[in-house]
């Protein structure tokens, strides 16, 4: 029996616990999710370093999963646009059962290996694409079908599973085992197995965006102001990075369609927004490098 499915020998009277004790048990077990991710930090770092040149060359991120794992992939991908201005068309998600499975469980969809393969083939992957395949068991047919098709296309495949020696991690170019063991509630991988997947995917994509120069220092300088809150954030980020007052920062931001990178470079280098935009482009969209050009 898979580790994630094996009944736990701890807390066998869980249903008899007082509510507060029950919550302490559930919460404390989540710390094991973080430990599992930390144990494979080097593997995740290797995945980031392998993915970065492909993505810089124009590749796409493609998340593949079923159930909780698939929904976590969707969540990670859709958050890249507002946080890092990453285009939606370059962060795609394949969820067993289709979009409706995001909200309602589609029974049996995860067992269709050919569906996973055909949906990958429809994307016409290239060698620059990066496919993230997530399955707690590591043996979900839909995910394995997608993996086989992705590998045939020459794309970089990164497999995440919560069981050692899983098929998805063994067959992927890079396998990452999040060994969370059994669950407090037997087989419920929406608990710490799901948490470990969320942390691993979030850490991978965030580190990748840092490598792609979407962050300056620890500031999200490519944030896309899609609402009032984020619009205010662009102003506060620019003020923080430049030390200038709100009026000046807002004025420059308005000139560059609230692109924080461009505003920071224009203010600190005392150049026009147009010149700042051109310099950023010449420096591969790397704000730190663009600022160093001015210093020289």
Domains of the chain plus CATH, in order, are 14-211 (3.40.50.10490), 228-295 (1.10.8.1080)
Q: Could you give the CA distance from residue 256 to residue 273 in angstroms, rounded to a whole number?
A: 6
Asked if residues 246 and 233 have their Cβ atoms less than 8 Å apart, the reply is no
pLDDT at 261: 97
pTM for this model (two decimals): 0.94
pLDDT at 254: 96
**Per annotation, catalytic residue among 5, 79, 248, 255:** 79
Side-chain half-sphere CA neighbours of 60 within 13 A: 18
* Sign, CA torsion 268/273/279/285: positive
pLDDT at 294: 61
Asked if residues 286 and 213 have their Cβ atoms less than 8 Å apart, the reply is yes
The verdict on whether 21 is a catalytic residue reads no
Cα 87 to Cα 58, 84, 186, 225: the distances in Å are: 11, 9, 39, 14
pLDDT at 51: 98
pLDDT one digit per residue (tens) for the chain, 296 residues: 889 998 989 999 999 999 999 999 999 999 999 999 999 999 999 999 999 999 999 999 999 999 999 999 999 999 999 999 999 999 999 999 999 999 998 888 999 999 999 999 999 999 999 999 999 999 999 999 999 999 999 999 999 999 999 999 999 999 999 999 999 999 999 999 999 999 999 999 999 999 999 999 999 999 989 899 999 999 999 999 999 999 999 999 999 999 999 999 999 999 999 999 999 999 999 999 999 986 55
Asked if residues 134 and 63 have their Cβ atoms less than 8 Å apart, the reply is yes
The verdict on whether 114 is a catalytic residue reads no
pLDDT at 29: 96
**Per annotation, catalytic residue among 110, 114, 122, 254:** 110
Asked if residues 259 and 285 have their Cβ atoms less than 8 Å apart, the reply is no
């Amino acid at each position: 029996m898979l580790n994630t499915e094996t009944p736990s020998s701890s807390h066998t009277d869980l249903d008899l616990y007082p509510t507060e004790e029950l919550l302490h048990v559930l919460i404390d077990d989540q710390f094991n999710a973080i430990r599992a991710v930390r144990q494979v930090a080097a593997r995740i770092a290797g995945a980031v370093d392998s993915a970065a040149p492909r993505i810089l060359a124009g590749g796409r991120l493609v998340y593949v999963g079923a159930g909780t794992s698939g929904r976590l992939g969707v969540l990670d991908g859709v958050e890249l646009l507002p946080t890092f201005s990453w285009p939606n068309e370059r962060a795609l998600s394949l969820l067993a059962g289709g979009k409706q499975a995001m909200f309602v469980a589609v029974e049996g969809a995860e067992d269709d290996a050919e569906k996973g393969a055909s949906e990958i083939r429809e994307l016409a992957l290239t060698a620059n694409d990066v496919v993230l395949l997530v399955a707690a068991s590591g043996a979900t047919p839909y995910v394995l079908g997608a993996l086989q098709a992705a590998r045939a296309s020459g794309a970089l495949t990164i497999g995440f599973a919560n069981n050692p020696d899983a098929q998805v991690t063994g067959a992927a170019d890079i396998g990452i085992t999040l060994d969370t063991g059994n669950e407090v509630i037997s087989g419920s991988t929406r608990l710490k197995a799901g948490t470990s997947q969320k942390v691993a995917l979030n850490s991978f994509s965030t580190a990748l965006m840092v490598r792609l120069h979407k962050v300056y220092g620890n500031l999200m300088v490519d944030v896309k102001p899609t609402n009032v809150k984020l619009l205010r954030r662009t102003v506060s980020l620019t003020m923080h990075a430049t030390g200038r007052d709100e009026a000046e920062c807002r004025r420059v931001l308005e000139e560059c369609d609230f692109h924080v990178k461009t505003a920071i470079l224009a203010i600190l280098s005392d150049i026009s927004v147009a010149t700042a935009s051109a310099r950023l482009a010449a420096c591969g969209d790397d704000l730190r490098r663009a600022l160093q050009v001015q210093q020289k």
